A = this chain, B = another copy of it.
Amino acid sequence: MPVTIRDVAKAAGVSITTVSRALNGYSDVGEKTRRKVTRIAEELNYRPSAVARSLVMNQTRTVGLLVSELTKERAGHYFMFQVLYGMHDRLAELGYDLILVSTTTARQRLVSYLDFCMERRLDGVIVMGIRLDDPYIQEVVDSPLPSVVIDLPLLSDHCGYVMTDNVHGAKLVIRHLAGRGHRKIGFVNGHSQAAVSRDRKRGYEEGMLQAGLGYDDTQVHEADFTLQGGADGLKHLLQCHPDMTAVFFASDLMAIGGLQYARESGIRSPEELAIVGYDDIELAEFSTPRLTTIRQKRSEMGMRAAEMVVAMMKDHAAPQGVLLAPELVVRDTT
């Protein structure tokens, strides 16, 4: 049904070789024939079949986006959407397409992640929102497929990563709070199955020690990145430490949950309790009071991941670990 290269060749009175080379800008085709071919291709509305091309070139120019948290649980969406945006945009610029691969669907549970990529002959994979305990993680690292992971420091022969320097980000928070005179600072962390949680906790700990405030395990509470988790975390922390004057949350969503709990409990922020989040999602700027937080360059994360995976696929570049600098955004809650 669709018009093929043969149709164009016939209409132009040349061989299909010539059509191919004319349209692809090779130098061994005369100027007049080239113009004729392009004109006719235009007229016939010829679109070269990407699948035929993929078959012969042995590359699909497609990268898979493996996201395990594409589930009903929505905690990560605020963060992920914009990473996705930057990633897709840069990939499109580089001439690659993005195909969704979810580990949570029924089909994926049967066909393994790797099988899927092999069958589709994906050129590379970007992994996002994966947990440390995800069974697919080993597959990714072991696979010969070029891959880059977001927010997980996985470095191997075929696997790079890009993430924000979470240790540094957390330290920025503590330094800021200490500078404001806070001595007793709590920390509501995300679940331990996220690499970022580990790093942010380390940053919190080191930051506290460096500020001379000491590290106390009971001032740390592990939640799950959700609004509710943030509220519960704050409640718990304040029960143990009624004299706490500042709390650092490992995500904006949790911080907002905390903010709401505080308001319901009649605790004013920042007067009675300073609150800091992490991520700088859109909502952070519009909460009342406006949330102090750590900004992650989300769309840049996506772009860097895209660039790296393309470099690996195209130029056989070596995978690297990219650490982006976080940025403290001071607003009203501190």
Question: Within the complex, what minimum Cβ distance (angstroms) separates A212 from chain B?
Answer: 36
Cβ-defined contact, A227 with B282, below 8 A: yes
Copies of this chain, whole number: 2
Is there a chain B Cβ closer than 8 Å to A23's Cβ? no
Q: Contact check, B106 vs A92: say whether CB atoms are below 8 A apart.
A: yes
In contact, A263 and B282 (Cβ under 8 angstroms): no
Complex Cα distance, B70 from A257, in Å, reads 27
B residues near A82, Cβ cutoff 8 Å: 72, 74, 77
* A118 at the B interface (CB under 8 A): yes
When C-beta atoms are compared, the residue in chain B nearest to A98 turns out to be: B100
Q: Is the CB of A49 within 8 A of B119?
A: yes
CB pair A93 B72 closer than 8 Å: no
| Structural contact, B102 and A99, CB atoms closer than 8 A | no
Confirm or deny: A54 has a beta carbon within 8 angstroms of a beta carbon on chain B. Answer: yes
Q: Determine how close the nearest CB of chain B comes to the CB of A274; give it in whole angstroms.
A: 19
Q: Across the interface, which residues of B come within 8 angstroms of A105, CB to CB? A: 88-89, 92-93
Supposing A47-B118, A85-B71, A263-B288 touch, asked if A106 and B93 sit within 8 A by C-beta, the answer is: yes
* A143 touches B (CB below 8 Å): no
Asked if A81 meets B74 with Cβ closer than 8 Å, knowing A51-B121, A121-B51, the reply is yes
Nearest neighbor of A260 in chain B, beta-carbon distance: B288
Q: Which of A62-113 contact B (CB under 8 A)?
A: 62, 70-72, 74, 77-78, 81-82, 84-85, 88-89, 92-93, 95, 97-100, 102, 104-108
Within 8 A of B (CB), among A261-303: 263-264, 282-283, 286-288, 299
CA distance A286 to B93 in the complex (A): 39
B60:A51 contact, CB within 8 angstroms: yes
Nearest B-chain residue to A54, judged by Cβ: B51
- Of all chain B residues, the one with the shortest Cβ separation from A69 is B85
Question: Which of chain B's residues has its CB closest to A65's CB?
Answer: B100
Docked pose: A55 CA to B121 CA in angstroms? 14
A51 to B118, CA, bound (A): 11
A44 to nearest B CB, angstroms?
12
Cβ of A115 under 8 Å from chain B: yes
Contacts known (A98-B99, A105-B88); A260 close to B287, Cβ less than 8 A: yes
12 residue pairs A–B, Cβ–Cβ below 8 Å: A47-B115, A47-B119, A49-B119, A51-B60, A55-B55, A88-B105, A92-B102, A92-B108, A95-B107, A98-B99, A228-B286, A283-B283
Q: Besides A51-B55, A74-B282, A99-B100, 13 other CB < 8 A contacts?
A: A47-B115, A74-B81, A78-B78, A88-B102, A89-B102, A92-B106, A92-B108, A93-B106, A227-B282, A227-B283, A227-B286, A263-B288, A264-B288
